[in-house]
């Protein structure tokens, strides 16, 4: 006997409920979503309950312990993001027929790039705003793997990441570089030792914090024989662990500059413990990017030429 699908045909009301659910997740709870959705909490709660009844699953837990998604809720949320992205793509394709640049675009950027003098994302965004003033940008800061997966799945139309291992599902457009050095804090035992008195062996004996997903950081750490004693998932987390005085860690030179200038950090054996990151804009290889995405991509590439 073939089981009948629980959901059946997706209706306009289903999409409306999914949009409410997406906003609740993005805001981190019902109370915070009130302002975003401009509806009261009881109405939001009723919409989520209606969606749970429609899908036959419990999507989230709410109470004194705060808001959290169930496993089913996480799966529904990811699916809803894909649906909304597909709808946005369709809207853009229709707009393309009329040569209009409207709608929204979701962009994901790797963290701590704004202080990089080689990074001109802000210049590209200014150009994009002039050329597409009616497009609503949504910008996320995510780890490399989340950006790649999001672009491939269509949740993000464009991503900006450090190059590490290329995927045939993505197209890459070189933008800018970032110089990385190994740092310790002023409370670390190596801080007051002269560079001439240091050795690679001595540095490798120290506790080291590395990024916990495939990245240039992970590759270089392995090449230089550095084994993670602590794991971080963004540059801010690395900085906190380095500042603790217990760990060494790689940070972008432009990001660490303020700590160095204030005497709170120093780079160790910069000729040995350093690497360069190349950043690229990424879009899906197929289907072809819509005109809004192409417009932003062209602005990014143009801003970083020369």
Whole-model pTM: value is: 0.70
pLDDT band for 3, please (50, 70, 90 cuts).
very low
Question: Quick one: 136 exposed, middle or buried, by C-beta within 10 A (0-12, 13-18, 19+)?
Answer: exposed
Contact 136, 169 (CB under 8 A): no
Architecture of domain 91-165+278-303: 3-Layer(aba) Sandwich (3.40)
Please state which of the four CATH numbers 1.10.10.60, 3.30.70.240, 1.10.10.10, 3.40.50.970 is assigned to the domain occupying 12-77: 1.10.10.10
Q: Which residues pair with 248 in a beta bridge?
A: 208
Angle at 247 between CA 245 and CA 248, to 5 degrees: 110
pLDDT tens figures, 113-159: 999 999 999 999 999 999 999 999 999 999 999 999 999 988 999 99
pLDDT tens figures, 217-250: 988 888 888 989 999 999 999 999 999 999 999 9
Q: What is the DSSP letter of 305?
A: -
Q: What rounded mean pLDDT belongs to the chain?
A: 90
Q: Would you list the domain boundaries of the chain?
A: 12-77, 91-165+278-303, 177-277
Architecture of domain 177-277: 3-Layer(aba) Sandwich (3.40)
If one counts every other C-beta atom within 10 angstroms of the C-beta of residue 82, the result is 13
176 has pLDDT over 70: yes
Give which of 158, 187, 183, 182 is closest to 170, Cα–Cα.
158
CA 195 to CA 179: how far, in whole Å?
20
Contact 99, 132 (CB under 8 A): no
| Choice between 101 and 60, residue whose per-residue pLDDT is larger | 60
Task: Give the ranges where 58-199 is alpha helix by DSSP (H).
Answer: 71-97, 121-131, 144-153
pLDDT tens figures, 31-62: 888 877 878 888 888 998 998 888 889 998 87
Query: Packing angle between helix 12-27 and helix 41-55, nearest 10 degrees?
Result: 120
Take residue 220 and report the two structure tokens written for it.
């270089």
CA 278 to CA 179: how far, in whole Å?
9
CA 14 to CA 11: how far, in whole Å?
5
Q: Using CA of residue 184, residue 189, residue 190, residue 192, what is the dihedral sign?
A: positive
Domains 12-77 and 91-165+278-303 in one fold: no
Take residue 32 and report the two structure tokens written for it.
């915070």
Helix (H, G, I), strand (E, B) or coil at 259: helix
Task: Give the ranges where 99-186 is alpha helix by DSSP (H).
Answer: 121-131, 144-153
């Amino acid at each position: 006997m073939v089981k009948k699908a629980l959901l059946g045909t997706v209706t306009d009301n289903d999409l409306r409920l999914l949009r409410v659910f997406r906003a609740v997740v993005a805001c981190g709870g019902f109370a915070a979503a009130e302002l975003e959705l401009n509806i009261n909490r009881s109405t939001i709660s009723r919409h989520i309950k209606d969606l749970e009844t429609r899908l036959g699953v419990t999507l989230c837990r709410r109470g004194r312990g705060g808001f959290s998604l169930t496993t089913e809720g996480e799966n529904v949320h990811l699916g809803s993001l894909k649906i909304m992205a597909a709808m946005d793509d369709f809207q853009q394709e229709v707009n393309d027929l009329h040569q209009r640049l409207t709608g929204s675009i979701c962009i994901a950027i790797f963290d701590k790039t704004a202080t990089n003098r080689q990074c001109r994302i802000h210049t590209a965004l200014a150009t994009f705003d002039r050329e597409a003033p009616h497009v609503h940008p949504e910008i996320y800061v995510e780890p490399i793997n989340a950006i790649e997966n999001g672009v491939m799945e269509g949740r993000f139309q464009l991503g900006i990441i450090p190059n590490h291992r290329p995927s045939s599902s993505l197209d890459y457009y070189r933008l800018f570089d970032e110089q990385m050095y190994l740092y310790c804090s002023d409370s670390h035992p190596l801080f007051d030792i002269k560079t001439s008195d240091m050795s690679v062996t001595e540095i490798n004996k120290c506790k080291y914090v590395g990024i916990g997903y495939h990245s240039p950081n992970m590759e270089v750490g392995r090449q230089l024989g550095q084994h993670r004693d602590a794991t971080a998932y963004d540059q801010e987390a690395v900085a906190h662990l380095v500042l603790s005085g217990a760990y060494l860690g790689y940070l972008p030179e432009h990001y660490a500059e303020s700590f160095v200038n204030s005497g709170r950090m120093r780079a160790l054996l910069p000729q040995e413990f350093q690497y360069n990151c190349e950043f690229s804009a990424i879009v899906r290889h197929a289907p072809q990017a819509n005109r809004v995405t192409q417009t932003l991509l062209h602005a990014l590439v143009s801003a970083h030429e020369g």
